Amino acid sequence: MQKLAEIVAGVSNGTLSASAVLEEHLKRISTRESEINAFNLVTADQARLDAAKIDADIKADKKVGALAGVPIALKDNMCTRGVETTCSSKILQGWKPPYDATVVTKLRNAGAVIVGKTNLDEFAMGSSTENSAFGPTKNPHDITRVPGGSSGGSAAAVAAGFAAASLGSDTGGSIRQPAALCGVVGVKPTYGTVSRYGLVAFASSLDQIGPFTSDVRDAATLLEVISGHDPMDSTSIPQSALSLVSVLDQGVKGMRIGRVTDLPEGCEPDVLARLEAAFDALRSAGATIVDVKLPSLQYCLTAYYLIAPAEASSNLARYDGVRYGNRVDAADLNAMYAATREAGFGEEVKRRIMLGTYALSAGYYDAYYGKALKVRRLISDDFARAYKDVDTILTPTSPSTAFKFGSKTDNPLAMYLCDVFTIPTNLAGHPAMSVPFGVGADKMPVGIQVLASTLGEQAMFKVAAELERAS
Amino acid sequence: MSEVPVLPNDWQLIVGLEVHVELATKTKMFSASANRFGDEPNTNIDPVTLGLPGALPVLNQHAIELAMRIGLALNCKVQPCTFHRKNYFYPDLPKAYQITQYDHPLNVDGHLMLPGDVRIGIERAHLEEDTGKSTHFGGSSGRIHGSDYSLLDYNRAGVPLVEIVSRPDIRTSEQARQYVAELRSILLAVGASDAKMEEGSMRCDVNVSVHKPGTPFGTRCEIKNVNSIRSVGRAIDYESRRQVDLIESGGTIRQETRHWDDSTGRTETLRTKEDADDYRYFLEPDLVPLVPDPAWIEAVRAALPVLPAARRKALAELCGVDKDGESAIVVVERGQDDYVRAVISAGGDARRAVIYVQQAFAEQGAAPKVPAKDLAALTILERDAKVTSTQAKTLLTDLIESGGGDVVAMANKRGFEALDTAALEAMVDAAIAAEPGAWQKYCDGEEKALGALVGAIMKSSKGKADGKAATALLQARRG
C-alpha cells in the first residue's frame, strides 16, 4: 500500500496517475468493504472525476496541491455539499448538506480525492462503532474485534488500505483510540487548530478534527493542510497553519518525556509493557524520562461524562423533525418531537441526552455540570505544572487492544473506561496523538499516546517520529 | 395627557419593563444573511440561520457596536461579557436554543431619566438573537395549540437584538409609557434601531405587581404581546386592577406569563410558573468571551450624538419653555431643534419659533422647507403686534404651502393689520356695552362668560382683533 507522501510525490512528478492510485484503492474497497463496513457511502463516481481532473492538471502543467491525488475518506459527521451526511444516525439519513465543511474545502483545494464517508458511533458517541445505526465496522486486523470508536470507520479505512488517509473527530479519544486499535497513526490537534465549521457537533468545547494515516510523516503533512485559522469558527486560534514535517527528523535528544506516576488503574499488562518499551526507546535516543503527577486525572472520566453529554443535549436538540432530517408525524407538536426523536436516535445517544439534560437542570447544575467544570480547570492546572518539567507525556492510548464485538455493549461504564487515557487531553484542549508501537499478547496493535501542551504539536511529532523509528 | 387611574386602598403599583429592540445592522447577529424586514419568507437564510448541523456562529461586530451605543446612552457600564445558550424547543427556534447573555451581559447598571427628574434604573442591556416567525392557521386562538398547520419564516431568526431590562422603579402606567417613549427616542437618536413597535422591531414585556407601601413587593406577572405605547399603559392599568381585585377578594397572585389582548383590553394566562421551561443555561461553547477594547468603548462613547434629554433641556432653556413640555418633546423627537435654532439665529422670537414648529411642522421632518429667516420674520410680526396670533397662524399656513416667502408681503396681500391698543380699547368698551349680562357674569367670576365678550370684539373687528390681547384687556378691566 502506498503512503500519502509517495502518492503526492508520484502524482506531482507524473510517475503515478491519480486515477490509477484511486482505482487501486477502489479495488481494495470492492474486495473487502462488504466484511469491514468502513463506509456509509463510497463516492466512487465523483472520486473518478476528481482524480481525472488532477491528472489533466498535471498534463497541462498546472500547479497541484500538497495532497494531489491522495484518496481520502471522511468521517460521516463532516458536511459535504450535496453528499449525504448522516452521523450514522437514522435521524439524519438522507440529509444532504448545502455546504462543505472548512476541512473539506481545504482538502479539495489541496487536490485530495474524497472516496467516501466513513462509519462512526452515532453522533460520535461511543468507543467501538457498535453504536452506528448502520451496523458496526470491523477491525481489519481481526474482523471479530471492534475497530474502536467513534471514528472506527476512518481508522479501519486507512488500516484496510481503502484510503491513504482519513479524517476523524476526537471529543474524548475518538481519533486516538481507534487509531491504536487499528494500528494506524491518529492525531487530535490542539483545540482550535483545525476549523470545526461543518463538523456536526457532539460536544463543541471538546470536538476537534484530526488525521488518520499509516505513518507519522503523512499525519504531519495532512495536519499542515487542514490546520490554520478559519474566520467561520469563533474558537479557531488566530494563527497560520502548523509546520510539522520539518521537525520530524530532529530526534528527541535532550527532550524531557513525562511518565505519569499516578496513572488510573485498569490497564492491561501487555499494554503497559509496550509503554515501558516506548520509554526505553526514547531514553536510548537521548531523551530524559521524568516522573510527573496528574492528581486530577482520576476525576476526568466523570467530569467528561457530564460536560460532553450536557453540550450534546443542547447540540442535538435541533434534530426536532421541523426543518430537515427525518420526521415522524403525530397528533401535535410535542408528540411529533417525541416520536421523531424516539425513532431517530439510538440508545446511547438517548442515554447521553438524558444525562446531559439532567446535569444542566435547575437545582442540579452546580452539583454536576458546575463541579465538572471545576475538574476541567484542575486537570488543566495539573498539566500546566507537569509541562514545566517535561516537553511531552507518554501514556497508553487505550487500556487494552481491540476487544470482541458485544463484550462491552451491555455495560456502558466499561465502554466509557476505554477513554480514560484520552479524555484528559480534550478537557485541557491540548494536542495528543496515538502511534502504533508493537502488538499485545493477542497480536493486536498497541498504540502509545504522546501528549503535549497547547500548540506543542512540534514536540509531540518529534517524539512520535522517534517511536515510529524504534518500533 | 390622559387621566392616571389610581389604585384603591393605598395599593401601590410596581412595574419593570423588558424591552427587546432589533438592531439596525445590515446582516444578522451570527451570519452574513441580510437583516431586512418585509422580504419574501425564507429568503434571508443560510446554514447558520437555519441551525444546520455543523454551522457555527460568528459575532457581528456592528451589532456589538450598536449594543454599546445603547448601553452608553443609558449610562451603563460596558464590560467584558460572555454568551450563553437558552435551551427550549419551538419550531421557530432553529437550533432549539437561543444564544443570549446570562450572568455577564455587555451593559449593566445604567439609568434613564423621565420627566419630573424621575430616575428609572437599567439593570442590563444585553445582546441576543431573535427567533423566526410562526404563523398558525386554523383553530380559533391564532396560537399553535389547536391550529391545523403552521408556517415558519426564518428571515427574522438570528436578527440581532438588545434586551433592555429596567429595574422595578416604575410606579404608574404613565411613567411606563414615558419610559418606552423616551427609550424609543434614545434608540432612534443613537441609530441603534428603527424601533418600530408596529413592525416588531421594538417589543415590550411588562412585569406588573402590586403591594402596600412598607411591605415586600407582590408576586409579579409578566405581560407579553404589548405592541404599542398606548397598550403599555392600558395593559398595566388592567393588570394592576385585576391583581388588586383578586387579592381583595381573597385570592392570591400566581407568578405567570399573561397575554395582552388589545381588542378585549384584557390579559389572560399564557403559562404558569410550573409550566415554565427550565432553560438549562450554560456557556455557549461555540463563542469566546467578548472583551471590548477600552479604546473602542471610548470611541463609541465619543461618537454618540447629543441625546434627546440634553437636547430638550437646551432647547427649553433657549426658548423659555418647559423641558418636559409638549413643544420641547415633540420638536426634539422630530429632530427640528436645530431648525428652531436657525430661526432664532435669523432674529426670530424664540418662544414663538419653538411653538410654531411644534404646531405646524409635523409633516416637515428634521429639515423643514420654509427658510428659517421667513419663519423668523413671522414671529417678529406677531411679537410686534403687526399681526394678531390668529392672522399669524394663517400666514404660517401660507408659508408652509408656498415653501417660504416674504411674510410682510403675504400679510399685506391678505389685508392683515393688527389693531392698535386704542382701537382695541374702544371695541372692549363697545362689547361691554353690548353684552351687559355677560360682563356682569364675568365680573362675578364666571370665566365662561368671557367667550361672549371676546366673540363680540372679534365680530366687530371682523377678525382682526387679537383674541389674547382682548382677553388681557377684559381681565384688566375686571381688576
Q: Are residues A311 and B287, on separate chains, in Cβ contact within 8 Å? A: no
The x, y and z cell numbers of residue A329, run together, are 408525524
**A78, A233, A311 member nearest B56 (Cβ):** A233
| Per-residue pLDDT, B1 | 39
Chain A neighbors of B153, CB-CB under 8 A = none
Checking phi first, is residue B200 left (phi over 0); if not, alpha (psi -120 to 50) or beta?
A: left
pLDDT in tens, A176-206: 999 999 999 999 999 999 999 999 999 999 9
To the nearest whole Å, the CA of B278 is away from the closest chain A CA by: 7
Chain B neighbors of A101, CB-CB under 8 A = 54
Q: Of the listed A12, A128, A132, A150, which one is catalytic?
A: A150
From first to last of its 479 residues, what are the pLDDT tens digits of chain B? 344 557 888 999 999 999 999 999 999 999 999 999 999 999 999 999 999 999 999 999 999 999 999 999 999 999 999 999 999 999 999 999 999 999 999 999 999 999 888 999 999 999 999 999 999 988 766 677 778 889 999 999 999 999 999 999 999 999 999 999 999 999 999 999 999 999 999 999 999 999 999 999 999 999 998 999 999 999 999 999 999 999 999 999 999 999 999 999 999 998 887 777 899 999 999 999 999 999 999 999 999 999 999 999 999 999 999 998 899 999 998 899 999 999 999 999 999 999 999 999 998 888 999 999 999 999 999 998 888 888 899 999 999 999 999 998 888 888 787 666 777 888 888 889 888 999 999 998 888 888 889 888 888 887 777 788 888 888 888 87
Chain A residue with CA closest to B283: the answer is: A311
| Per-residue pLDDT, B141 | 66
User: Of A19-28, A375-384, A385-394, B362-371, which range is least confident?
Assistant: B362-371
B59 at A interface, C-beta within 8 A: yes
What is the rounded CA–CA span in Å between residue A169 and residue B370? Answer: 69
Q: Of the listed A174, A227, A400, A453, which one is catalytic?
A: A174
What is the rounded CA–CA span in Å between residue A279 and residue B38? Answer: 67
Chain B neighbors of A87, CB-CB under 8 A = 53
Cβ-Cβ contacts under 8 Å between A and B: the total is: 98
- Residue A29 contacts residue A42 (beta carbons within 8 Å): yes
Q: Are residues B57 and A95, on separate chains, in Cβ contact within 8 Å? A: no
What is the rounded CA–CA span in Å between residue A75 and residue B328? Answer: 66
For chain B, which domains are there? Answer: 12-302 (no CATH), 308-413 (no CATH), 421-478 (1.10.10)
Do the domain assignments include residue A19? yes
Q: Give A198's contacts (C-beta < 8 A, 6+ positions apart).
A: A78, A79, A97, A99, A100, A101, A102, A103, A104, B54, B55
What is the rounded CA–CA span in Å between residue A401 and residue A393? Answer: 20
The average confidence (pLDDT) of chain A is 97
Sign (positive/negative) of CA torsion A327, B282, A99, A8? negative
Chain A neighbors of B289, CB-CB under 8 A = none
What is the rounded CA–CA span in Å between residue B93 and residue A108? Answer: 33
pLDDT in tens, A131-181: 999 999 999 999 999 999 999 999 999 999 999 999 999 999 999 999 999
Do the domain assignments include residue A351? no
What is the rounded CA–CA span in Å between residue A63 and residue A71? Answer: 18
Band the pLDDT of A2: cuts 50, 70, 90.
confident
What is the rounded CA–CA span in Å between residue A440 and residue A402? Answer: 10
B380 at A interface, C-beta within 8 A: no
* Burial class for A298, CB neighbours closer than 10 Å (0-12, 13-18, 19+): middle
Do the domain assignments include residue A195? yes
Q: Are residues A201 and B145, on separate chains, in Cβ contact within 8 Å? A: no
| Residue A168 structural domain | 4-247
Checking phi first, is residue A206 left (phi over 0); if not, alpha (psi -120 to 50) or beta?
A: alpha
B91 at A interface, C-beta within 8 A: yes
Do the domain assignments include residue A392? no
Task: Residue A242: give its domain's CATH number.
Answer: 3.90.1300.10
**A311, A317, A323 member nearest B89 (Cβ):** A317
Domain count, chain A: 1
Strand partners, A452: A392
Do the domain assignments include residue A219? yes
Q: Which residue has the cell 520539518?
A: A246
pTM over 0.80: yes
Q: What is the DSSP string of B397-449?
A: HHHHHHTS--HHHHHHHTT--PPPHHHHHHHHHHHHHH-HHHHHHHHTT-GGG
How many CB atoms neighbour CB B244 within 10 A? 18
Q: Are residues A232 and B144, on separate chains, in Cβ contact within 8 Å? A: no
A75 is catalytic: yes
Chain B neighbors of A197, CB-CB under 8 A = 54-56
Q: Are residues A332 and B145, on separate chains, in Cβ contact within 8 Å? A: yes
Do the domain assignments include residue A28? yes
- What is the Cα A409 distance to its own chain's centre? 21
To the nearest whole Å, the CA of A201 is away from the closest chain B CA by: 6
A174 is catalytic: yes
Q: Are residues B54 and A101, on separate chains, in Cβ contact within 8 Å? A: yes
**A200, A232, A362 member nearest B278 (Cβ):** A362
Q: Are residues A205 and B285, on separate chains, in Cβ contact within 8 Å? A: yes
Task: Map residue B206 onto helix, strand or coil.
Answer: strand
Nearest to A39 by CA among A146, A212, A162, A140: A162
The x, y and z cell numbers of residue B431, run together, are 362689547
Band the pLDDT of A467: cuts 50, 70, 90.
very high
| Per-residue pLDDT, B148 | 85
- Residue A125 contacts residue A352 (beta carbons within 8 Å): yes
The x, y and z cell numbers of residue A2, run together, are 502506498
Do the domain assignments include residue A414? no
Chain A residue with CA closest to B53: the answer is: A200
Do the domain assignments include residue A49? yes
Q: Are residues B286 and A360, on separate chains, in Cβ contact within 8 Å? A: no
B282 at A interface, C-beta within 8 A: yes
Q: Are residues A79 and B56, on separate chains, in Cβ contact within 8 Å? A: no
Q: Are residues A234 and B280, on separate chains, in Cβ contact within 8 Å? A: no
B280 at A interface, C-beta within 8 A: yes
What is the rounded CA–CA span in Å between residue B125 and residue B111? Answer: 11
Give, as one character, the DSSP assignment of residue A80. B
To the nearest whole Å, the CA of A362 is away from the closest chain B CA by: 7
Q: Are residues A204 and B57, on separate chains, in Cβ contact within 8 Å? A: no
Give, as one character, the DSSP assignment of residue B122. E
A443 is catalytic: no
Strand partners, A367: none
